[in-house]
Structure 1
Amino acid sequence: METQGIYVLLAAAFIKLKPFLLMVFLQVGYAFLYIVSMLCLNRGLSHYILVVYRHAAATIAVAPFALIFERKNRPKMTLKIFIKIMALAWIEPVIDQNLYYLGMKYTSATFSSALYNIVPAITFIMAIILRLEKVNLKRRHSQAKIVGTIVTMGGAMIMTLYKGPILEMFSEKSSAHIETTSTNVGTGQNFLVGTLVLLCSCVIWSGFFILQSITLREYPAELSLTSLIVFLGMVQGAAVALVMEHDFKAWAIGFDSRLLAPVYSGIVGSAMAYYLQGVVTKERGPVFVTAFNPLCMIIVAALGSLILAEQLHLGSVIGAIVIVIGLYSVIWGKSQDHIGSPTLTEGKGNSLELPIVAKDIMDHENTHSGPI
């Protein structure tokens, strides 16, 4: 009986901790995704080709689940919906990810993971412009979102304009290794160009979530929508890659990081992440999911220094801290939106869920066909 009681307590503890454990696991997976992608780019694989292979793997991983679980409730496809899905596939898998990989190549995995924390703030601004988000300046949570957005943008400007001295994370030996082997550290003009490219990627990614939230209203089948986006993104990305890469030898991959990166990003960054984040979002809400994003940045900073021998600058650290402060201000404001709000919709099982627009704005990895 005592043994059975212990098992019951352990099971109850696991159920309580499951959302936290899943999100930590997911952020670790994302962190390795940054590292693997950078290793692949450093080995010479074109980012155009990486995007194609990634979405081929994502299609193989996600499509079977869409065919099985949404076979009976998949909405009817119309020309209007198909055009929107084509636009989604062009915006995110093709334009955004190519810009993202290019920006990461010019800067670093650590810098990229830190800068991408501004996506919720940019999405919030775009939602206001498109009147998808209402702001009441008299309400504290609206003030928090506005202040958080301003602070987040300030952090991005610090990271862009101020580089600062190099910080030694581990040892002098690592520093020597950096000087002799690092190939991905952007300097001078390349670093600035890479930062601007990443900022453009953030804006485009935010636009993707806005359009995605609108499309989900007309085509509320998340798995099917994701499958179509990654498949069409693969097709459109292949067309772009064929134009940009004239040497067919560039498409060759072996059993190394050039193969690991697209397979890992497709399976972990798309299929597995979609499922895990969907489970946690349904149980704890999108705000809970978003709150774990800075953990990925910390892990990438450590792994980037150890594995990639990346340089960590003071400006990046200060900017990242400011961005995280602003991010959590925006998150807190979003978390208060549903308290006493008449815009809540009652879902199945009498559970209350955020409206689809607000949900997708904050859940900025919802389709997991994003850059990381």
Structure 2
Amino acid sequence: MMGSESGRAVAAMVSLQLLFSALQVFIKLALNDGMDARVLVAYRFMFAATFLCPIAFLRERKKRPPLTMKVVLQLFLCGLFGFSINQNLYVLAIKLTSATYITAISNLTPATTFLLAILTRLETLKLKKPAGQAKLLGTLVGMGGAMLLTFYKGPKIMVLDQLPHPKFAHLTENPQSHPISTGNQIIGSFLGIISCFTYATWLVIQAKVSKVYPCHYSIAAMVCLFGALQSTVMALCVHRDMEHWRLGLNIRLYSSAYAGLVASGSAFPLLSWCLRKKGPLFISVFSPLMLIFVALMSSIILNEALHLGSVLGSVLIVGGLYMVLWGKAKEAADLSEDENQGKESIPVTTGGENEMK
């Protein structure tokens, strides 16, 4: 029974990485077609909120606790950092560079989360323990990979050129096959790294709000709703001409609908199930799969070139990711062992209840 559940969890995570990989390609196709990045983000969360709000209302209407102003403020900040700012930076970074490039940068999220937790004193740096050393080393290696990815291009990797390259002229009018300029590469990398920090900020805030408001569908629906409102205001500040907002039966509509309904709406219940069954560490282990899928899809569909610097930088980032994950797993194991030893040392005659954090 456990083996079957583990198999389903692995299959679910691989499927999710495929769904998210296709999202990167859809985003790039819409941007190549001339769609504004801010408008694309706004439409994504409009679709997501429209999809998730009825589900949240029906599934959690009987167990939803009352909303307080503190919870509403936290959900607003989740929408601001995790969705509005994060996705605007992320999509703009993809526009300046490539889907593969920014997918590699996004693997810095565990390292940036660790740095943010240190800066906000939510976590202490225990350099005398192997777990603390691994997390620090992993963070430094990941950041080094990001720097290599940014400043070193190297020769073109010819392996992916052997793959079939179907033409998608009917989907995009302006395919970006020209090389990425050095300026765009540096700016795109910077925006990608900042998006990782905003995502880490969202994780910290959402972890707090989930403890006092344990309704995952409602949280997702309200955060998407706030994200839609905030992103729409951001986009309207730049584009008030309705021509930028018009959707037809084209790649702009398909990309917006896929991003909102599939990558945000439908994928969330599956991700929540995996998180509940296997925990956050299990989820993080599968992140590098998306980099492989995106590299293949981008080469086939977008005809994007892959260079040695991108490969070496990606290897370092993924290596740093697994160092951080190993450190977190080791730290959790050490904490569990210490708690078990503490239980054994408590005399049975006390008769008191022990509360553990």
TM-score normalised to structure 1 length: 0.84
Letter of the aligned partner of 2:321 in structure 1? L
* Partner amino acid, structure 2, of 1:219: Y
Decide whether the 8 Å contact of 1:45 with 1:258 is kept in 2: yes
Alignment correspondent of 2:311: 317
SS at match of 1:213: helix
TM-fit CA distance, 1:166: 1.8
Q: Give, in whole Å, the separation in 2 of the partners of 1:263 and 1:100.
A: 18
Q: Could you say what the CA RMSD is over the residues aligned between the two structures, in angstroms? A: 2.4
Counterpart in 1 of 2:58?
68
Is the counterpart of residue 51 in structure 1 residue 41 in structure 2? Answer: yes
Residue identity in the other structure for 2:75? I
Determine the structure 1 residue equivalent to 2:170. Answer: none
1:89 matched to 2:79: yes
Please report how far the alpha carbon of residue 276 of structure 1 lies from its aligned counterpart in structure 2 after TM superposition.
1.2
Q: CA 1:229–1:182 in structure 2 vs 1: closer, same or farther (change >3 Å)?
A: same
Report the equivalent of 1:234: 228
Output the amino acid matched with 1:293: S
Give the aligned partner of residue 370 of structure 1: none
- Quote the Cα distance in structure 1 between the aligned partners of 2:251 and 2:43: 13
The amino acid that maps onto 2:78 is: L
Aligned length: 334
* Distance in 2 of aligned mates of 1:13 and 1:125: 36
User: Separation in 2 of the partners of 1:271 and 1:325?
Assistant: 31
Of the structure 1 ranges 271-280 and 154-163, higher mean CA displacement relative to structure 2 is found in 271-280
Q: Kindly provide the amino acid, as one letter, of the partner of residue 79 in structure 2.
A: A
The alpha carbon displacement at 1:38 in A equals 0.6
C-alpha distance 13-331 of structure 1, shift in aligned 2 (>3 A): closer
- Kindly tell me: are residues 16 and 120 of structure 1, through their superposed partners in 2, closer, same or farther at Cα, counting changes over 3 Å? closer
Deviations 1:231-274 (A, max 9, x none): 11111211121110132111111122211111111122222222
Question: How far did 1:216 drift?
Answer: 2.1
Question: Corresponding residue for 2:125?
Answer: 135
CA drift of 1:340 comes to: 4.5
- C-alpha separation between the residues in 2 aligned to 1:126 and 1:181? 37
Per the TM alignment, residue 123 of structure 1 is displaced from its structure 2 partner at its CA by 0.4
Taking the TM superposition and a 5 Å limit, the aligned residue runs for 1:1-372 are 14-171=4-161, 181-183=175-177, 185-341=179-335
- 1:12 Cα deviation (Å)? 7.9
**SS of the residue 1:166 aligns to:** coil
Aligned to 1:366: none
Whether the 8 Å contact between 1:51 and 1:97 is mirrored in structure 2 is yes
Asked if the contact 2:136–2:324 (Cα under 8 Å) also holds between the matched residues in 1, the reply is yes
242-251 vs 207-216, greater mean Cα deviation: 207-216
Contact 1:23 1:277 in 2 (8 A): yes
Alignment gaps of 5+ in structure 1: 1-10, 345-353, 356-372
Deviates more, 1:266-275 or 1:314-323: 266-275
With 317-326 and 270-279 compared, the bigger mean Cα shift is at: 270-279
Contact 1:106 1:184 (8 Å CA) reproduced: no
8 Å CA contact 1:169, 1:305 repeated in 2: no
Could you tell me how far 1:64 is from its partner in structure 2? 2.0
Return the offset for 1:280. Answer: 1.5
How far apart in 2 are the matches of 1:144 and 1:311?
A: 33
The AA in structure 1 aligned to 2:132 is S
CA distance in 2, matches of 1:203, 1:329: 19
Contact preservation (8 Å) 1:107, 1:185? no
Matches of 2:101 and 2:192, distance apart in 1: 10
The answer on whether the counterparts of 1:48 and 1:240 sit within 8 Å (CA) in structure 2 is yes
Q: Runs (4+) of structure 1 moved beyond 6 Å?
A: 172-175
Letter in 2 for 1:246: R
Could you tell me how far apart the structure 2 residues matched to 1:12 and 1:138 are?
A: 37
Residue 183 of structure 1 deviates from its aligned partner by 4.6
The worse-fitting range, judged by mean Cα deviation, of 18-27 and 69-78 is 69-78
Tell me the TM-score normalised to structure 2 length: 0.87
Deviations 1:287-346 (A, max 9, x none): 1111001000001001101100111111111000001111001111111232242698xx
| Superposed displacement of residue 13, structure 1 | 6.2
For the residues of structure 2 that align with 1:13 and 1:128, how far apart are their CA atoms? Answer: 37
8 Å CA contact retained: 1:108, 1:185: no
> Are the counterparts in 1 of residues 96 and 180 from structure 2 also a CA contact under 8 Å?
yes
The separation in 1 between residues aligned to 2:163 and 2:85, in whole angstroms, is 39
